[in-house]
Structure 1
Amino acid sequence: MDFDVVIIGSGAGGAPIAHTLVNAGKSVLVLDKGPLLRTQSDNLDGISDFKRDELLANGPEKILNLPGVANNGQSYFPSHVEPDLNDEPHIYKDKQGQERATIEGYTANVVGGGTQLYGAVSVRFSREDFALGSLNAGRTDLANDPNGDVPREARDWPLDYDQMEPYYAKAERLVGINGTAQGQIKPFTSGNNTYQTPLEPNPISQIVADGMDTLGMARYRTPLAVITEDHAPSGRTAGNPKTGYVNRYGDPMGYKSNTWVSLLRPIKDNPNFELRPNCHVTHLQAQGDRVTEVHYLDPTGATKVVSGKVVVVACSAIESVRLLHISAARDADFENRINGNNLLGAYFLTHCFGGAEVRLRRRFDKSISLDSDWATDHCANPDWFRGQGLWAGGVMYNNTSDQALPLALARHDGSADLDTTWNGWVGRVFSRANSMPGDQFYDIADFFNQELGTRLSVSFMANQVPVRANRILLHPSIRDKWGLPVALIDKSWHSHDLAVMATLEAQCRAILEQGATQNGGFDNGNLESGFVSGNARIANHILGGARFGTDPTDSVLDPDCRAWNFENLYVADGCFMPTSGGGNPTLTIQANAFRVADRLLASGRI
């Protein structure tokens, strides 16, 4: 064997396994399709590879050229951290059943994956999030669930919160997260010292604090994967990360705790570790119950093959399922082993999400803090959400950086990948600009004057009902630039999802209404709320498709995230989740990956 372990993907699912196994003396290769974008301190010239313009174009306008999709011929601008839409589209079916190409579902094509670009909110799931099958068994009081889908489809995880808790603590310590435990409904049985001390909250966030307090919602400082103190495990020195840039976009300074700076850079010089960026894995090859070869294209496009005693797939759920489907299409025995129960790609999940936003009568300096200050588990309390006729709850937290800077002016109009539920700069600016003669474009200055520093939002993240028909498939005709079938995502919202989103949206709105009223008020019409209902809008929370469980007829993976009918194939990104959890998923993916690494060491397979 070339390596003890070959890991495909370097994000939240792959990096914790690499970090653990390399430190245990195992030989590990990590393959990643994207480039290694280094921080300022990584480069001798002190210039980061990140441009800090992930929402800006990296070239001229392009035209979508994918015959057969409904948005063929539309213009777009690519970004330096996302695939070019013509080269590697994801195809979604819209509500009318039409197929549309989008970059939605790509977190980032870089080493570190989505942890390089995510908002860094790192909340634990609640105890109930691990047991929604048991919690909802026999319920007949659920809102908008006329066919009893929720009790039938909800599944318990094959482990509980207490088993995951030590790994949450491990991830918080090794990754580097600031926040507070007091006020959370999740018990911190491994100790309350896993967080770094958060920065002082932005004054604008007092509105959220007052609103939560008035409504009797226990609050805590939002856990954020950004270091505020020196971080010994990764050797990073704290600086002054007081801007929404750090935890919303690629961070050139290394304060944001992406998996490159926190977990992979500390082991990069170990002789038993190798990272190969810009390497695209095309398929896996197996003999019986063992994956024997990983085939990939190196940076020159040359075909290469590598092997490992164990192979871990962690490409992010859509691409992981796609890779397994492509591998299965080449080999009937592989297909039978990975998809004999026809569950590979099924139960694709994202999150129910949305929120509310208010425009205040005064302006705040949003550059002096991180993006989120206060969170509450009020709606994750089972007494509360059961009383609302809901199957599960979720977390709510505020965002300060909405419309903080006119960052996205060069992004294409109609873009659906901005991480806001309501209109961002693109929608607001271009919708107004497109309706004005050119000589009146200067009126945009009035728009900036109204918007800059005046907006505050509260978001929610909640469990989406697992539906078997929501699935990831291979497109029958559209191929990527390497000639491989692209992913076709067939996904819609369950009627109970809409009830969850409407209920939590109202809670977000109430927080802002109460808080703003106590802090100078707001003008009529300047409090907006909503939730996501577009089929393709997923906030890059890409989950499910290869869920784990205790029953091989009802799951793709066993409790250790090993494919049931393979001896050495593991899947460790968000694929494994049977339910999506009541909060942002990255911390749970990382915690589970640390757990899988320990299970691998105990298994005797390496």
Structure 2
Amino acid sequence: MSEPDGAWDAIVVGTGLGGATIGHRLAAAGHRVLFLEQGHRDPAVAAGAATDGGEDPAQRLAAGYWPDRMRAQIDGRASRPFPVAGCGAGGSSLLYAAALERFAPHDVANWPVGWDEWERHYAAAERLFRVAGTPDPLARDVPALLPVPPAAAADAALMRAFARCGLHPYRLHVGLAYRQGCAECGGRPCPSRCKSDARLICLEPALAHGATLLCDARVVRLDADDRRVTAVRYRRHGSEHRASARIVILAAGAYRSPALLLASTGPAWPEGLANRSGQVGRNLMFHANEWFAVWPPRRADTSGPRKTIGLRDLYTHRGVRLGSIQSTGLSAHAGNIATFLAGWFETGRWRRVPFRRALIWFGARIAQRVLGAATIFVMIVEDRPYADNRVLLDTDDPARIVVRYRIREELRRRTGMARRLIAKAMRGLRVMPLQHDVQLNLGHPCGTCRAGLDPATSVLDADCRAHGVDNLYVVDASFMPSSGGANPGLTVIANALRVAEVVELRLAPAALEPAASPTGA
């Protein structure tokens, strides 16, 4: 396909939940939209696609996974993990498990936009992404009646058991249509168009409205003068190209969006575009995953959907912010139990026990035979922003993701508290923790271009327009001032719908260029 000609109303960099959602709304309103996507157009069906990502970059890209390892320094320890991120038409939503839950009102209390706005756009996001579930009995806000998903008998029995413990389980809010044979497709693209990923829900409809999609297009920088982005530069099939638009929307994810801004230096922006505050890339947050296994009543049927249970009884405890609990759809077989036991044996006095690996596997197999297969749950513990936790630019290879992060003692204390509270709340059930220390969820990066009212302490204004850059918006999870205690997906979608309203006003025929953001600083 040749490069498209002419100027655009909007260029959207990235086709995940944020980018595809806002691009869809703008295209449906009749605006000329160009999507630039680094990955392939059809990663789920590309020839030779790996089912688990593999090691080869080309093979990973063909399967919709981020192709290269990143450089990470976590608590001073260097590592080279693969980012838990998708790369292809649909972005990371190709791989997500489709949990689409609202934040609690206190999660956004210090954000520059009030709860009433979030409530309105959450409702729109739930309708758009076909969210199914039942209301949380403890929530102040009750969403519109959602479709009730099916469940395995084992999960229904667990919900009854949780209720007997005094807890308040509800059907987890998920973007799944539960077509016949639904496998819930977490960690991989959905082959049956059952999962509400960004490609199915927004990107394909946007293309039907006339939007243009260029895949295999890696954006390398944004050119800008002292007020506006003048061009987006991208590499495609070995050549560099430029495209321009009235509005540029960055939605490359909380890893890549700040890196692109840092790479976009110039006379007006010597420290990186939109970085006069020095905040671009800073305040990186994840969530901490607190995994545990719960054994259902014996002989309970485990066939059918398993990612179906939510709990918010421990979302906060005596003013301490923890997070939501959800079933993952995974079962604790011998391998999972062995992983936990290995971590336990490698700490303290147990690391010197001879033949410990054989003991671990023997114990894991005995536990599975005696107890059966458990359901794995996870608490999504809120992370907090710190300026020195950040995404950095690798000047030798600007395409590489570089992360520096230090786990604070307060996070260790809160995850330890969560572990104890879970055991106490589920007393009488067969419960087993599956970790002994903080485990960061590298698939939930957020906060690296935080929104706020003060340009000295934030990157974006209340409308997610970059401070000092009239036509640049950021709509991925990097906008988030705090991480909340739930999956970020629905909040990213709701925010993209909110920002779409602002951008539509600016692109209206009566709008003059350059235009000021209606509510921005």
TM score, norm. by length of structure 2: 0.85
Is 1:124 the counterpart of 2:102? The answer is yes
By how many angstroms is 1:341 displaced? 1.6
Q: CA deviation at 1:219?
A: 2.0
Counterpart selection for 1:296 from 210, 224, 234: 234
Is the 2:271–2:278 Cα contact (8 Å) retained in structure 1? no
Helix, strand or coil: the match of 1:397?
A: strand
Q: Does the Cα contact within 8 Å between 2:43 and 2:62 map onto a contact in 1?
A: no
Q: Which amino acid in structure 1 is aligned with residue 467 of structure 2? A: W
Q: Deviations over 1:501-550 (max 9, x none)?
A: 1222233334555344xxxxxxxxx723436525xx32400101110011
Match of 1:243 in 2: 183
The answer for unaligned runs of 5 or more in structure 1 is: 40-47, 63-75, 132-155, 229-238, 407-419, 517-525
Report the equivalent of 2:351. Answer: none
Show the counterpart of 2:307: 372
* Cross-structure match for 2:279: 343
* Aligned-pair identity (%): 24
SS in 2 for 1:530: coil
The residue matched to 1:267 in structure 2 has which SS?
helix
**Residues 476 and 161 of structure 1, relative CA distance in 2, 3 Å threshold:** same
1:503 partnered with 2:417: yes
8 Å CA contact 1:404–1:452 kept in 2: the answer is: no
Structure 1 CA distance for aligned equivalents of residues 158 and 36 of structure 2: 43
Correspondence for 2:261: 324
Q: Is the 8 A contact 1:472 1:487 kept in 2?
A: yes
**Counterpart check, 1:210 vs 2:160:** yes
- 2-side partners of 1:224 and 1:172: how far apart? 9
Q: Deviations over 1:145-194 (max 9, x none)?
A: xxxxxxxxxxx100122111111111111111111125251413xx613x
Distance in 2, matches of 1:532 and 1:339, equals 35
Spell out, residue by residue over 1:220-270, the C-alpha distance to the aligned partner (whole angstroms, 9 max, x if none).
Answer: 100011124xxxxxxxxxx225434x2443210010000100111123222
Q: 1:470 to 1:449 in 2, by over 3 A?
A: closer
* 1:409 alignment partner in structure 2: none
Is 1:351–1:538's contact at 8 Å kept on the other side of the alignment? Answer: yes
In structure 2, C-alpha distance between the alignment counterparts of 1:425 and 1:170, rounded to whole Å:
44
Paired with 1:313 and 1:357, the residues of 2 have a C-alpha distance of 39
CA RMSD of aligned residues (A): 3.5
How big is each residue's C-alpha offset from its partner over 1:412-462, in whole Å with a ceiling of 9 and x where there is no partner? xxxxxxxx999399999xxxx9967xxxx9x99968974997121221113
Shift of the 497–312 alpha-carbon distance from structure 1 to 2, 3 Å rule, reads same
Alpha-carbon offset, residue 589 of structure 1:
0.5
Q: Secondary structure at the match of 1:93?
A: strand
The code of the aligned residue for 2:195 comes to K
Contact 1:13–1:590 (8 Å) recurs in 2: yes
Aligned match of 1:55: 52
- Residue of structure 1 aligned with 2:478, choices 572, 575, 579: 575
**8 Å Cα contact 2:264/2:273 also seen in 1:** no
| Partner deviation per Cα, 1:371-390 (whole Å, 9 max, x = no partner) | 42211221235xx341xxx2
Contact 2:165 / 2:426 at 8 angstroms: preserved in 1?
Answer: no
* Aligned counterparts, 1:166-177, within 5 A: 166-177=120-131
Kept in 2, the 8 Å contact 1:385–1:393? The answer is no
CA distances 1:37-83 after superposition (whole Å, capped 9, x unpaired): 277xxxxxxxx4498964263769x9xxxxxxxxxxxxx99983323
Q: What does 1:375-390 align with in structure 2 at a 5 Å threshold? A: 375-380=310-315, 384-386=317-319, 390=320
Aligned mate of 1:402, from 325, 331, 336: 331
Q: Please report how far the alpha carbon of residue 332 of structure 1 lies from its aligned counterpart in structure 2 after TM superposition.
A: 5.0
The equivalent position to 1:94 in structure 2, one of 64, 74, 82, is 74
CA contact (8 A) 1:356 1:457 kept: yes
Match of 1:185 among 131, 135, 139: 139
For residue 402 of structure 1, give the secondary structure of its aligned residue in structure 2: strand
Q: Name the SS for the 1:168 alignment partner.
A: helix
In structure 2, the residue matched to 1:468 is: 387
Question: Do the aligned partners of 1:347 and 1:466 also contact (CA within 8 Å) in 2?
Answer: yes
**Alignment correspondent of 1:226:** 176
- The number of residue pairs the alignment matches comes to 492
Structure 1's 485 and 31: CA in aligned 2 closer, same or farther, altered over 3 A?
A: closer
Match for 1:533: what amino acid?
V
> Match of 1:292, SS?
strand
Q: How many angstroms apart in 1 are the aligned matches of 2:158 and 2:465? A: 43
Residue number in structure 1 paired with 2:82: 103
For residues 160 and 47 of structure 2, the distance between their equivalents in structure 1, rounded to whole angstroms, comes to 37
Partner of 2:339: 423
**What aligned pairs does 1:468-547 form with structure 2 within 5 A after superposition?**
468-477=387-396, 479=397, 484=398, 486-510=400-424, 513-516=427-430, 527-530=432-435, 533=438, 537-547=440-450
> Matched residues in 1 for 2:370 and 2:48: separation?
25
Query: What SS is found at the alignment partner of 2:274?
Result: helix
Report what 2:7 is aligned to: 2
Match of 1:26 in 2: 31
Structure-2 change in CA distance of 1:103 and 1:422 (3 Å): farther
**Unaligned stretches of 5+ residues in structure 2:** 1-5, 345-354, 516-521
Aligned counterpart in structure 2 of residue 261 of structure 1, from 190, 200, 224: 200
TM-score, normalized by length of structure 1? Answer: 0.73
Q: CA deviation at 1:309?
A: 0.5
Distance 2:28 2:337 in 1: 41
- Note the alpha carbon deviations across 1:386-419, whole angstroms, 9 max, x for none: 1xxx2x231111233235799xxxxxxxxxxxxx
